[in-house]
Amino acid sequence: MLKLKLSQLKPGMRLAKDVILPDGRLLLLAGFVVKPMYLRKLEAFKVEYVYVEEGYFEPIDELEEERLYSHAAATIKSIFAMTSRNRDTDIIPVKDTVNDILNKVMENETVMLQLTGIRDIDNYTFLHSVDVCIYSIIIGKKLGYGKDPLMTLGMGAILHDIGKCKVPIDILQKPDKLSDEEFHQMKLHTVYGCEIIKNSYQLGTKIANIAFQHHEKWDGSGYPMGISENGIDPLSRIVALADVYDALTSDRVYKKRELPHVAAEYIKNNSGTLFDPFIVDLFVESIAMYAEGTLVLLSTGEVGSVVSSGKIGESRQKISVFSNKAGPPVLQPYIVDLNKHSDVEIVEVFV
């Protein structure tokens, strides 16, 4: 067994010990073969070193979708940086990125979904923007939108928070509740974003409107205008839901993330109040948060992969268990049907 710094870790090595965060959360399991996306996850959580099995190496190629996701995040980070300095920037790379995401979603949305959710607090806004873009395009696809509306939706989704580059960083990263004045400044990111998109990038009203309206609520309790129901642009309603779902399932400076089915329950409970009920129903029907192959930890200490997918809001899948953190080694994988074991829950998801 070797102890390696993160800079020494390579895709294809196999972990010899569980990777546990300082707060006790299990990040990766012993026995996992390191993939490029796991390296990004370790970097995101600032893990300094890991233990690997000496002499084990398995050639691992990075998926095209993984490269696309990383490139998309880097592109958005660059756009935010240039905009915050009031410097002219080229929007073409963003259009190309959204077009690539759109094409991949049309090919295989499940693979793109499995890439979401890896982010660190410092880069939250950029990775969040990519995730919201993926979720929004998937919903738009289910609505039957054609290529042009999907591109508009995707551009609005990936740029929905561009106005945050004009909000003071101490407000964006404040770990405590914002004061009334700070919250007022935060809310202005919707106005800033609309102005930036129209004036700097000349992308048109529909895309700018998504940045402007993505915090409006179905019951009129949102901002900046307090409009409600069908007064809210349909594309903005989609991005609003994707935005909240991704925020709930992410670690933030002021809270730990929720598991997907817990976040889904919040969304379902607020259908018809905060969210367009039709969009909520479509979200429930179209986005499988525990897709086949997802690695999960059960409340029993058993670890396995989902063998029958479930829709958002459901945690009652069939799990093929291959390890048991609280018991003897599993020599032969076996199935645990959560529908038949109401006392067993998914307590962690491994990306």
What pLDDT was estimated at residue 276?
97
Tell me the C-alpha distance between 288 and 271, whole Å.
18
Going by C-alpha positions, the residue among 322, 283, 290 that lies closest to residue 306 is 290
- What is the 3-state secondary structure of 142-178? HCCCCHHHHHHHHHHHHCCCHHHHHCCHHHHCCCCCC
Domain edges within the chain: 2-52, 64-286, 295-350
What pLDDT was estimated at residue 351?
63
**CB–CB of 39/67 below 8 Å?**
no
Tell me the C-alpha distance between 15 and 2, whole Å.
9
Local structure of 43: helix, strand or coil: helix
CATH of domain 2-52: 3.90.105.10
Could you say which of 1.10.3210.10, 3.40.50.300, 1.10.260.40, 1.10.10.10 is the CATH number of the domain covering 64-286? 1.10.3210.10
Going by C-alpha positions, the residue among 235, 236, 212, 233 that lies closest to residue 224 is 212
What pLDDT was estimated at residue 245?
92
pLDDT in tens, 87-118: 877 899 999 999 999 999 998 887 777 777 66
What pLDDT was estimated at residue 122?
63
What pLDDT was estimated at residue 250?
81
Q: Which residues of the chain register pLDDT less than 70?
A: 62, 117-122, 252-255, 288-289, 309-315, 351
